[in-house]
Amino acid sequence: MRNHKTIWTLFLLLATASCGARAQVLKAPDPCDKATSQADMNDCYGKQYLAIDARLNRIYHSAMGYLQHDLDAGKSDAAQEKYLRAAVEDLKAAEVAWIKYRNLHCEAASQQYEGGTMASMIHSMCLSMTTEHRIAEIKQAYENGDRKLE
């Protein structure tokens, strides 16, 4: 079982590195490497995903807060207000679509392990990686100058 984890981890590292996040992945050791059983690995990766998902939620709400603040500030003309309202609605719609994508993508990724003890670990690892990518996307799109999302 440990061999499958190593192969999957290597695959995730290579896939993430090809997406431009190599330095970030290589500098952080995997806290789940200390797990000694498959049940421990499943639990660790599940908790790791929950922490990453909580971070995404904070960043998403921060981005939404900036957009809403700009709307509420009343500094814009009617056209700018229209664009800001559209930005808020589009970010909401994008997040709903992304959640659907994330769930389908990770379900497909873990399906090949269905019925095995590794399935939940593979699913959690996929959720974590996909969520980390979403965090990077939101930060790239909504952070600028003094506007920091975390």
Share of the chain above pLDDT 90, in %: 65
- What is the model's pTM? 0.78
CATH 1.20.1270.180 fits 2-142, yes or no: yes
pLDDT tens profile 24-51? 445 578 889 999 999 999 999 999 999 9
pLDDT for 8: 52
Which residues, 6 or more positions from 45, have their beta carbon under 8 angstroms from its beta carbon?
Answer: 32, 120, 121, 124, 125, 128
* Residue 73 confidence class, pLDDT cut points 50, 70, 90: confident
Q: Where are the domains of the chain?
A: 2-142
Beta bridge partners of 147: 144
